[in-house]
Amino acid sequence: MEKQELKHFENNELRTFGRRHGKKLSARKVWLMENLLPNITPKTDKYDEKSIILEIGFGNGEHLRDLALNDQKSIIIGAEPFVNGVAALLSAITKESDNTVFDEYKNIRIHPDDVRLLLKNLQHIKFSQIWILHPDPWPKAKHEKRRLLNSDFLNLISQFLSDDGKIIIGTDHWGYYDWIIEQLKNTKLKIKSTSLDIIKTRYQLKNKANTDTPKYLILSN
């Protein structure tokens, strides 16, 4: 990938997520953020022989943990800028007795910031799967430009797919879904499927869009 492509994207990027902080963290979660998190952030030179899966905006990490449990041979990287979500995941994957990571979650890595900063540092990495579930739909017309899944971003992440890699998108906001379909016309990505059966995350159960069910897109180069 040409570095200038990423640099151009960064110079034109918008903040596509909402708040970074929520309620005050417990003492245990603060400890995990300060002491455990630095040890499980993605490293640029560790994954040459591994299949790597990325989840962008993992919320509290329910789906990320499910990925880790069901694919122990892969490295599962989650990118999430919301501090409380990162802390919630750290708490869920560790033992309360000594704050060590459960064996079944030792394949999880966490990037606690905008995924575009992660991609800048992992330019040689190829992902077998890139998951984006329930991104902020920014439903007001004046905020539409802040939607993450515009054609520029989709073109960017498509460059990080392995030869048979997939981008999996899910949203319960049907207007956003239709908007993504339009954005795809300015990419080379192809729709492979619109059917998917996965665990229900806390965000999905809230169903803020009041739709019958989420809609999915499985894309490939």
Q: For the chain, what is the HEC assignment?
A: CCHHHHHHHHHCCCCCCCCCCCCCCCHHHHHHHHHHHHHCCCCCCCCCCCCEEEEECCCCCHHHHHHHHHCCCCEEEEECCCHHHHHHHHHHCECCCCCCECHHHCCEEEECCCHHHHHHHCCCCCEEEEEEECCCCCCCHHHHHHCCCCHHHHHHHHCCEEEEEEEEEEECCHHHHHHHHHHHCCCCCEEEECCCCCCCCHHHHHCCCCCCCCEEEEEEC
One-letter amino acid for residue 12 of the chain: N
Residue 124 CA to residue 100 CA, distance in Å, equals: 30
CATH code at 3-41+48-220:
3.40.50.150
Q: Is 45 a catalytic residue?
A: no
Confidence (pLDDT) at 50: 74
Confidence (pLDDT) at 60: 92
Higher pLDDT, 121 or 208: 121
Residue 5's pLDDT band (cuts 50, 70, 90): very low
Q: pLDDT by residue (tens digit) across 143-178?
A: 678 899 999 999 999 999 999 999 999 999 999 999
Residue 124's pLDDT band (cuts 50, 70, 90): confident
CB-CB neighbours of 46 under 10 Å: 11
110-131 average pLDDT score: 92
Residue 16 pLDDT exceeds 90: no
119-133 average pLDDT score: 92
Do 101 and 47 contact (CB within 8 A), yes or no?
no
Residue 122 pLDDT exceeds 70: yes
Q: pLDDT by residue (tens digit) across 178-210?
A: 999 999 999 999 999 998 888 666 655 555 545
Do 67 and 201 contact (CB within 8 A), yes or no?
no
Mean residue pLDDT of the chain comes to 86
Q: pLDDT by residue (tens digit) across 46-68?
A: 666 679 999 999 999 999 999 99
Active-site residue, selected from the candidate residues 136, 178, 197, 212: 136
Q: What percent of the chain lies above the pLDDT cut of 70? A: 79
129-141 average pLDDT score: 86
128-152 average pLDDT score: 85
The structure's pTM equals 0.85
Residue 37 pLDDT exceeds 90: yes
5-15 average pLDDT score: 47
Residue 44's pLDDT band (cuts 50, 70, 90): low
Residue 11 pLDDT exceeds 50: no
Residue 19 pLDDT exceeds 80: no
